Amino acid sequence: MNKEQAQKRMEELYAQIEEHNYQYYVLDRPIVTDQEYDHMMQDLIRLEAEHPDLKAPHSPTERVGAEPLPHFQKVTHDIPMLSLGNVFDESELRDFDRRVRQGIGQENIEYVAELKIDGLAVSLRYEDGQFVSGATRGDGTTGEDITQNLKTIRAIPLKLREPVTLEVRGEAYMPKHEFEKLNQRREEKGEELFANPRNSAAGSLRQLDPKIVAQRHLSIFLYGIAQVQGLDIHSHSEGLEALERIGLKTNPETKVCHSVDELLDYIQYWTDRRAELPYEIDGIVIKVNHIQYQEQLGFTAKSPRWATAYKFPAEESVTILKDIEVNVGRTGAVTPTALLEPVSLAGTTVKRASLHNEDLIREKDIRIGDHVVVKKAGDIIPEVVAVVEERRDGTEKEYHMPTHCPECHAELVRIEEEVALRCINPKCPAQIKEGMIHYVSRNAMNIDGLGERVIIQLYDQGLIREVADLYYLDRDELLQLERMGEKSVDNLLHAIEQSKENSLEKLIFGLGIRLVGAKAARLLAAQFETMDRLMDATEEELEAINEVGPKMAESIVTYFDNPEVCALVERLSVAGVNMAYKGPKLQEAEAVDSPFAGQTVVITGTLEHFKRNELKEQLQGLGAKVTGSVSKNTDMLIAGENAGSKLDKANDLNVRVIDENELINLLSPPE
């Protein structure tokens, strides 16, 4: 494919991917499968790698996250992002309506009612249809430039459907299901939990590393136009329709109302149904619809006179904490849960509430039998927020976390600087199923035919109790299972047998050692080369490896200090599972003498004699750190043909640049 053909194909992919983003993230009606979408993205990533000079600023690959920022730049809003006044009941809403009618001199006023999304207010700027910058509200006059973070939100188009220049305001938020998944991951790691989706959205958008933001899966609703060129708009409702037409996501539940009674009906409807929404709201925003009337009413020093927010009251209830039970999660984290006298809360009956960890129980002095205040964090997860001490009668009992796992009775451990107690017994029933599903997954041992359904079936039938049991399965026993014919059993046993030949890093990752991901597993395998050496490694030896910190080192040593783990590894070895590293060798003498040892290297452009992934592994084996972008910390740029902007930046920063011929010479051993 020549340059002209590549550019044409890239433009086609830009248009197709953005259209699919619009269909999925804005309209919520995907028209291609995830697999088809992934293929398009991979094609685009490959073409941009081969032709980096052709990459457009609005490329969908920008959404994966840029390099971490040292800090956020301040941004002054041309038009201030003012806050809204609040009303809390019907009489206050009618007072607002009266002031509006008096200010305009009209009796019949048209309002727009919108759900008040509980997230983080942001401002987006587009020039000729291209997304150029985004900022937080800040104090209303000055915010922070979070452009790179906003690019990771797929509901924000990087290119509009029309070449419009405008500034638009909206609310970035975290969907409820993403909030639940995020807190589950944080709890498993022993990290502090986010209190609600709003805090998690705000915390995410203020991350200096956009790659972290990209993992949080935020979304956005746009609700207002601050400045615009090229659109003729006379009312707020027309503005929302225009935003939707040019590809921006607006809230579908917005309604035009012609009286206070209609507004009250809308408020009551969503007060009753707010828990059913997939995102959090904390009220209803009410705006005068016609722009002419908005201009006539104007502003106070703090807020517009033509808009207000009807705020939902914070809903809390008092009930009795009857007991506390603990549950063991996939990674062994032991979490206490309050068992409550049933209580109505935010439209649902609550019988259980999270207590998060032992520290929280002690801090709030929560006792069994206490009258407690319960609320839904973000209207989603019930939690105990306080004890009503004045209602104690002396029968309440202090609670102490168990010292042993409630599932397998192994002694629980608390790793330094973590809040969670953990069961580290690999035979714990509460962890086994998920652990085995992870073990057979593609990035681990990659055993085809062993999906979640089959794992659960094998476990429930008593055929497996730990991952080593997979290598001792009996063909005749498998044939007795439902949906297990001769061909499927033979294929399954063949796939299990093949997995024995995997390189060591696959096994390390498959064991599910806490904090050890696929990349860390490869580094450990390359450094120690055999499982025995890794199991004997000290924390000091582990921390000496680049990218292995104190917490990961402690986690690894703690894991292999467990006799149950040693027995598991021995069974795997006896079954014939490979315990050695088969990848590029990390030889100390070679790394010390290598011109790449200790160097931060970037590869760019098209290479004739190397495949990029293989070259990256080779350089890492010689002691280099290979990164994706040029910065002041880059020591060397390997530039192939059509090196593009990375080469320009390297020259600007006086980074050493070598071509492919020089690379070959540096890699060739001296005679």
Candidates 617, 590, 585, 579; CA nearest to 601 is: 617
- In angstroms, the CA 210 to CA 204 distance is 9
For residue 374, give the H/E element and its range: strand 371-377
SS3 195: coil
- In angstroms, the CA 600 to CA 627 distance is 7
- In angstroms, the CA 531 to CA 508 distance is 8
- In angstroms, the CA 551 to CA 633 distance is 25
Please enumerate in sequence order all residues whose Cβ is within 8 A of that of 613, keeping only pairs 6 or more positions apart, or say none: none
Asked if 287 and 267 count as a contact pair (C-beta separation under 8 A), the reply is: no
DSSP letter at 627? E
Candidates 571, 325, 520; CA nearest to 430 is: 325
Asked if 165 and 110 count as a contact pair (C-beta separation under 8 A), the reply is: no
Asked if 577 and 611 count as a contact pair (C-beta separation under 8 A), the reply is: no
- In angstroms, the CA 576 to CA 517 distance is 24
| Residue type present at position 361 | I
- Paired residues of 324 in beta bridges: 338
| Residue type present at position 401 | M
Query: Which sequence positions are flagged as catalytic?
Result: 116
- In angstroms, the CA 432 to CA 669 distance is 48
DSSP letter at 467? G
DSSP letter at 470? G
